[in-house]
Amino acid sequence: MASGAAEYEDEGITGINVTPLVDITLVLLIIFMVTASYIVKETIEVELPRAAHGGETVQKTFALLVTRDGKSFLNGVPVDDGALISEVQKARTAGEDVQAIVGADKNATHGAVTHLLDVLKGAGVTKFAIQIEKQP
């Protein structure tokens, strides 16, 4: 009898049965799917009113550049402060959300860029981005 027990110990485990693991995984998946749909159904039901003039907000983005000698460009066209203010106000009266991307030559003065940002803020632009070139 002792020799029979020794034969089984030398064989070792030859494989793992993954069927119970797959069964448990599928049961958990089904439970999560059912509870997720239940959570969505438990939200507050609201009937939203309708409006004739509703819609998405339209964004207008101005691309501005300041050269090293302090000249300003709006979408590639030279512009002075008055023309820039009128363009921004025209976009705002059309109901557009105005934002600006400001790029400047690295040799441009800080004062020129600050002046441009001040003009934009005075015209009602509240969203700014500074254009840079990523270092390699």
Residue whose C-alpha is closest to residue 104's, from 65, 63, 62: 65
Strand partners, 43: none
- Mean pLDDT calculated for residue range 75-90: 90
Q: Rounded CA gap, 119 and 66, in Å? A: 13
Residue 72 has pLDDT above 70, yes or no: yes
**Domain range list for the chain:** 2-41, 58-130
Q: Per-residue pLDDT tens for 101-134?
A: 898 888 889 899 999 999 999 988 888 888 888 7
Q: Per-residue pLDDT tens for 5-62?
A: 555 566 677 788 889 999 999 999 999 888 776 665 555 566 667 777 666 666 788 8
Map tokens 């964004």 to a residue. 59
| pLDDT value, residue 117 | 92
Indicate whether this model's pTM tops 0.85: no
Sign, CA torsion 114/116/119/120:
negative
- Any idea which fold 58-130 has? Nucleotidyltransferase; domain 5 (3.30.420)
Residue 2 has pLDDT above 70, yes or no: no
CB-CB neighbours of 120 under 10 Å: 23
